[in-house]
Amino acid sequence: MTTMIGDAADALLTAELSSWDESSLLDAWREVERLRNRLAAVEHRFVAEEERRGLPFTHGARNPAGFVRALLRVHPREAVARVAVASAAAPVTTMTNEVVPAPFPRVAAAQAAGSISPRHAAVVVAAVQRLPDVVQVEHGARVEAELVEYATQFDPHQLGTLALRVTTLLDQDGALADVAYRERHRDLTIRQRPDGSASISGEATAELAERLLTVLDALAAPRPAADGTRDLRTAGQRRHDGLLDALDLLQRAELLPSVAGISTTVLLTTTAANWSSGDAVAVTGHGAILPTREAIRIAGGDTRVMSVDLDEHGAVTGHTDTRRLFTETQRLAMIARDGGCTFPGCDTPPAWTQAHHVVDHANGGRTTIANGALVCGHHHRSHAKQGWRSVMRDGRPAWIPPPWLDPHRRPRTNARTRPG
């Protein structure tokens, strides 16, 4: 079988396409596409069979998608998508050799014939699954049949628009807003890029949406500068920063469960030389690669630094542990002194602040009350970019403004927290 398929591919790869007339060229191209679509249906059978045999467990994979990813070296999202479509469009043979028909038989038949693509199939399946249960029972088969017919005429993008119209017409009474539906289709997807950034998408229940909006009401409001200049961040940027502040507050509150016996920790790894110089790159606990300077900024003031010695084979030969964290007692003392964010004009309360080294720890600054200041997440991240610098004046944190704001660069304190 594999030899026959390979021979057909070899024949096409070596064919002299320049000698073909236009009709032959386009007919062959359409046939290749039809075969590509049919091969997806063939793969559905492979997926169903590997699940029937329990191969993911045998080969140490967490689940069928993990097995597909390892076997075929495909992207994790691609592996998940292939397994999902196969579960919808492939018949299943049970351990007793009973054949259970495919949940979406028309999709399966169209793919087997090569008349629709895997992406067409995914659109049809997703549209039917979006319907509430009562609507699916009554109209699911008809919706599947209609959309499969549309799929033979339109591309997946156009099909998605038509699918939305069909499902909306079937839900004129608002059944899609049903609580059970929203609960069933709740979702959060984080697609992390190699540089550590990510695209986030999902479907929130009413509870999650309300809790998130309440948190952002407090943490994503505009924050004008000390001189009254409006906050230049967009609404989306403020929401991003507000969510980041909320996660930082949650982690520092030490309310999260441990992971594999370790308290929830953002792990950033690089060499001691890179950490001191800010050069080269660091690696996060989830495998992203960041510039070391960015890793140092992320680490901020509440950082635990561990030195691990590795031999030429990568084995651990020793380690030391030095703490850069401000203790609870130190933070309480700083709360009593600062009363909240020390940045001029900011009214963020103490519970929403971070402990900041006035003289950076990497530059020899000590983790002491005399070298510490409470700063909100926004100003902790942005003060250096805006040209501000923190100092201690008469035992209290102060901030030196950038030259464009004050050519004399006179230190400023936050009169809203502790009038001086």
The DSSP result for 313-343, as a single string, is: TS-EEEEEEEE-PPPHHHHHHHHHHH-S--S
| Residue 247 in this model has a pLDDT that exceeds 60 | yes
pLDDT at position 270 is 78
Per-residue pLDDT, 417: 61
What is the structure's pLDDT at 153?
A: 92
Which pLDDT band, with edges at 50, 70 and 90, does 420 fall under? very low
What stretch of H or E contains 282?
strand 281-284
Which of these ranges, 15-24, 176-185, 291-300, 369-378, has the smallest mean pLDDT?
176-185
In this predicted model, what pLDDT tens digit does every residue of 347-361 receive, in sequence order? 888 888 888 889 887
Q: What is the pLDDT of residue 172?
A: 61
Handedness of CA 37, 43, 45, 51 (dihedral sign): negative
Q: Above 60 in pLDDT, residue 91?
A: yes
For the segment 402-420, the average pLDDT, to the nearest whole number, is: 79
Tell how far CA 82 is from the center of its chain: 20
Comparing CA positions, the residue from 12, 40, 6, 167 lying closest to residue 115 is: 40
What ranges do the domains of the chain cover? 22-173
Burial of residue 282, with CB atoms counted within 10 A of its CB: 0-12 exposed, 13-18 middle, 19 or more buried: buried
Give me the pLDDT at residue 418, please. 55
Q: How many helices (H) and strands (E) does the chain have?
A: 16, 13
pTM metric for this prediction:
0.49
Question: Which residues, in sequence order, are bridge partners of residue 236?
Answer: none
Q: Residue 131's pLDDT band (boundaries 50, 70, 90)?
A: confident
Tally of CB atoms within 10 A around 378? 23
Q: How far apart are CA 79 and CA 88, in angstroms?
A: 15
What is d(CA 379, CA 90) in angstroms, rounded to the nearest whole number? 54
pLDDT at 94: 65
Averaged pLDDT, 74-101: 80
Higher-pLDDT residue of 311, 6: 6
Tell me what the mean pLDDT of segment 174-180 comes to.
61
Which stretch of 92-101, 177-186, 209-218, 301-310 has the lowest confidence by average pLDDT?
301-310
